[in-house]
Amino acid sequence: MADGMIGINLTRHIYEKQKEHPEATGELTGILNQIAFAAKIVSREVNKAGLVEILGLTGKENVQGEEVQKLDDFANEIFVNTLGRSGHFCIMATEEEVDTIPIPEGYKCGYYSIALDPLDGSSNIDVNVNIGTIFAVHRKITGEEKGTAEDLMQPGRNLIAGGYVVYGSSTMLVMSTGNGVHGFTLDPSVGEFLESHPDIKIPVKGKIYSINEGNYPYWSEGVRQYIDHIKEKDKATGRPYSTRYIGSMVADVHRTLLKGGIFMYPADNKDPRKPHGKLRLLYECAPMAFLCEHAGGAASTGTGPVLDVQPTELHQRVPFFAGSAQDVRELEEFIVKYD
């Protein structure tokens, strides 16, 4: 880009894209700008986390039975307050709240619902490793002014927007409104997200696998056989693959979108309370699957597309295998063969 030329910012990108989709209301622009605004505030806090009293635990546990970090709470507050008062949504849900979150009294209800993981990768907060926010936006499908859980618990196939913010060496917003996947990098000097990764496409086959190998003894036979297979030496098929595991879903999926390969969080029998793995459908797996498919990749529960799962509970978990189409397909073949 020529010096002095400011790139396409988020607003202009959506406007350009929407010209191809006149049916999409201008609200999408407003929705994504509000998400970007909240992300800038969280980014500022994340980037000085080591300096102010924002690290560490709150001493509380969330609905998942997990320790709540101060930054989890901070990010949850920022996104819920900003989006709840934006006039775009009829109901919200986040990882940190047991039940659905209504729009505050006195504020307009809109025609969309949003589910959020306000701070993904909490275990990495105190060690200065990439963390993120994940969002999933559906159109309202119920008739009353105030939305219900039904507006949130739609299959990922219905998503009208999905994406994440990754707070790392730079802060990036990666999103799709169903028309390709696009990455924007925050330029703090102008406070704008500028398009830096137009039309991201996942390579059809990768050379990286990403999984928490510590759970190996708890996986199904099919998953274990697949992992053993990609570690065998076979130059013709590019094996063994390299392994990369950051432990923040946003960071592992971001790398997979850009470099290809396969990210996995299988079901495991380690914790009887979590028979379907650790990752939540509504605000982790569905939006990430939406991005992977729109980037030309695939996202599977091991037995079918994540986007086709009809949610039955707000915080339900599903097994998650996503990335290069050929790698995900091969994993599914191992599950069919051995499980």
Question: Hey, which residues between 69 and 98 contact Mn ion (CB under 5 A)?
Answer: 95
Question: Hey, which residues between 47 and 76 contact ligand AHG (CB under 6 A)?
Answer: 66
As given in the structure block, the two tokens for residue 130 are 């990439």
Give the shortest CB-62-to-ligand AHG separation in angstroms. Answer: 8
Give the whole-angstrom CA distance, residue 268 versus residue 218: 5
Which bin fits 333, alpha (ψ -120 to 50), beta or left (φ > 0)?
Answer: alpha
Query: Judged by CB under 6 A, does residue 269 bind ligand AHG?
Result: no
Q: Which residues of 46-66 are buried (b: 16+ CB within 10 A; e: fewer)?
A: beebeeeebeeeeeeebebee
| Alpha-helical segments (H) within the chain | 10-19, 27-46, 70-84, 149-152, 221-231, 249-259, 286-294, 325-338
Question: Binding residue for Mn ion (CB under 5 A) from 117, 252, 268, 332?
Answer: 117
Question: Binding residue for ligand AHG (CB under 6 A) from 182, 254, 278, 317?
Answer: 278
Contact partner at residue 247 from ligand AHG, Mn ion, none, CB < 5 to 8 Å by partner kind: ligand AHG
Nearer to ligand AHG, 188 or 275 (CB): 275
User: Of the listed pieces 150-158, 219-227, 245-253, 326-334, which binds ligand AHG according to CB under 6 A?
Assistant: 245-253
Give the shortest CB-197-to-ligand AHG separation in angstroms. Answer: 21
Site string for ligand AHG, 191-230 (x = CB under 6 A): ---------------------x------------------
User: Of the listed pieces 16-24, 82-90, 108-116, 241-249, which binds ligand AHG according to CB under 6 A?
Assistant: 241-249
Question: Binding residue for ligand AHG (CB under 6 A) from 248, 300, 301, 324?
Answer: 248
